[in-house]
C-alpha cells in the first residue's frame, strides 16, 4: 500500500515519503515470503524445495526485518530534527542525502543478514526426513547464539533510541502546544506514541519466543508445545507489522487520508479545506 501510494503521488517527494516507499519494499517482500513460512509451519518435513530456497527465503526475511527497523530508526531521527531543530533540519536533511542514507541502510541490512546463509540449510536429523532448519554446524560453532544476540540488539537498541527521540519530540511539542494550542502538535505526538507502541507489540513476542526456545537446549514436551503456540502468535504479529503501518497513517494522519482520497478520485474531506486555510505553523512535523 505504501509503495502504490508513493508511485501514484510523485509530487509528494518529501524525505518522509522516501523512507516510506523504501520500507514498502521490505513489507511487500515479507508478505511475498509468507506462503513459504506457512509451508514451513504446517509441513516442515520433508522439505521439498531445495537448499537454495531454504537459505534465500530466510535470508530475505531477515534482511527485510533489519531494513525495516533501520528505516524506522532513521525516520525517527529525522522527525526529531524536523521538530526540535527545524532550521538545522532544512540544511542537513535533503532528498539526495536521504537517498544515500537509504542505500546505506539496505547495505547494512544485507551484511547483517549474510550469516543466515550459513546458519540455515536442509538437513536430516537422526536419519529422519530432510527439513529446512538451523544447521548443526551453526549450533556447534556458536553462530546461532551470535546471530540471536545480533537480532536482539536490532530490537533493543532501536527501541531505546526511538523511545528517547519520541520522548524529546513529545516534550518539545507539549511546550509549543501549550503556547499555541495547535492541534497539529497533538496529532503528531499521538502518532509518535502509537508507532512506538505498535513496534513493541509486534516485535516483542517474536524476539522473546525465539530467545527462550533457542536458549533451552533440551525443552520438555510441555515447553515444546507451549513454544509452538507462542510462535504462532508471534508469527501473526510479525506479518501484521508489515501491513499495519498504512492503517496507522490512515487513522492518524489527515495528510495521508487526503492523498488516499485523491488517489481514489474522491472529494476532499471536510477538514482538508480547513487545514489548507489555516496553514499550521509547524507543517514539517505533520505527516
Going from the N-terminus, what domains does the chain have, and what CATH number goes with each? Answer: 2-285 (1.20.1070.10)
What integer is the mean pLDDT of 112-125? Answer: 88
Is the pLDDT assigned to residue 216 strictly greater than 60?
yes
pLDDT band at 188 (very low <50, low <70, confident <90, very high): low
CA triplet 194, 200, 206: central angle to 5 degrees? 145
Looking at per-residue confidence, does 105 or 138 come out higher? 105
The reported pLDDT for the residue numbered 106 is 97
Is the pLDDT assigned to residue 204 strictly greater than 70?
yes
pLDDT band at 286 (very low <50, low <70, confident <90, very high): very low
Rounded Cα–Cα distance for residues 33 and 56 (Å): 10
The reported pLDDT for the residue numbered 66 is 93
Is residue 63 within 8 A of residue 109, CB to CB? The reply is yes
Comparing CA positions, the residue from 88, 106, 87 lying closest to residue 18 is 106
Looking at per-residue confidence, does 253 or 87 come out higher? 87
The reported pLDDT for the residue numbered 281 is 38
Q: What percentage of the chain has pLDDT greater than the value 90?
A: 13
Is the pLDDT assigned to residue 285 strictly greater than 50?
no
Is residue 120 within 8 A of residue 134, CB to CB? The reply is yes
Is the pLDDT assigned to residue 110 strictly greater than 70?
yes
Rounded Cα–Cα distance for residues 246 and 212 (Å): 32
Is the pLDDT assigned to residue 113 strictly greater than 90?
yes
| E strand or H helix at 134 | strand 130-134
Q: Which three cell numbers stand for residue 109?
A: 541490512
pLDDT in tens, 27-77: 888 888 888 888 877 777 788 888 899 899 899 989 998 998 899 899 889
Is the pLDDT assigned to residue 183 strictly greater than 70?
no
CA triplet 152, 233, 214: central angle to 5 degrees? 40
Comparing CA positions, the residue from 242, 197, 192 lying closest to residue 78 is 192
Is the pLDDT assigned to residue 12 strictly greater than 60?
no
The reported pLDDT for the residue numbered 224 is 65
What integer is the mean pLDDT of 98-118? Answer: 95
Rounded Cα–Cα distance for residues 63 and 78 (Å): 22
pLDDT in tens, 156-178: 999 899 889 888 888 887 777 55
Looking at per-residue confidence, does 127 or 66 come out higher? 66
Is the pLDDT assigned to residue 131 strictly greater than 60?
yes
Amino acid at each position: 500500500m505504501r509503495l502504490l501510494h508513493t508511485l501514484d503521488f510523485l509530487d509528494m517527494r518529501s524525505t518522509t515519503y522516501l523512507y516510506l516507499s523504501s520500507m514498502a519494499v521490505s513489507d511487500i517482500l515479507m508478505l511475498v515470503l509468507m506462503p513459504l513460512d506457512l509451508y514451513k509451519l504446517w509441513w516442515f518435513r520433508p522439505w521439498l524445495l531445495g537448499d537454495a530456497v531454504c537459505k534465500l527465503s530466510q535470508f530475505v526475511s531477515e534482511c527485510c526485518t533489519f531494513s525495516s527497523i533501520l528505516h524506522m530508526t532513521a525516520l525517527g531521527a529525522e522527525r526529531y530534527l524536523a521538530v526540535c531543530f527545524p532550521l538545522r533540519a532544512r540544511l542537513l536533511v535533503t532528498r539526495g542525502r536521504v537517498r544515500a542514507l537509504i542505500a546505506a541502510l539496505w547495505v547494512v541490512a544485507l551484511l547483517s543478514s549474510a550469516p543466515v546463509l550459513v546458519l540455515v540449510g536442509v538437513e536430516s536429523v537422526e536419519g529422519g526426513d530432510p527439513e529446512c532448519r538451523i544447521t548443526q554446524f551453526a549450533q556447534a560453532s556458536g553462530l546461532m547464539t551470535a546471530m540471536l544476540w545480533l537480532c536482539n540488539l536490532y530490537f533493543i537498541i532501536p527501541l531505546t533510541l526511538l523511545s528517547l527521540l519520541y520522548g524529546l519530540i513529545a516534550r518539545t511539542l507539549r511546550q509549543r502546544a501549550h503556547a499555541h494550542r495547535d492541534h497539529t502538535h497533538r496529532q503528531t505526538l499521538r502518532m509518535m506514541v502509537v508507532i512506538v507502541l505498535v513496534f513493541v507489540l509486534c516485535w516483542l513476542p517474536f524476539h522473546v519466543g525465539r530467545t527462550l526456545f533457542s536458549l533451552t537446549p533440551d525443552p520438555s514436551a510441555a515447553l515444546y508445545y507451549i513454544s509452538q503456540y507462542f510462535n504462532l502468535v508471534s508469527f501473526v504479529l510479525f506479518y501484521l507489522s508489515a501491513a499495519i503501518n498504512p492503517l496507522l497513517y490512515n487513522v492518524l494522519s489527515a495528510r495521508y487520508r487526503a492523498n488516499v482520497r485523491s488517489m481514489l478520485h474522491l472529494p476532499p474531506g471536510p477538514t482538508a479545506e480547513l487545514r489548507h486555510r489555516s496553514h499550521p505553523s509547524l507543517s514539517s512535523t505533520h505527516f
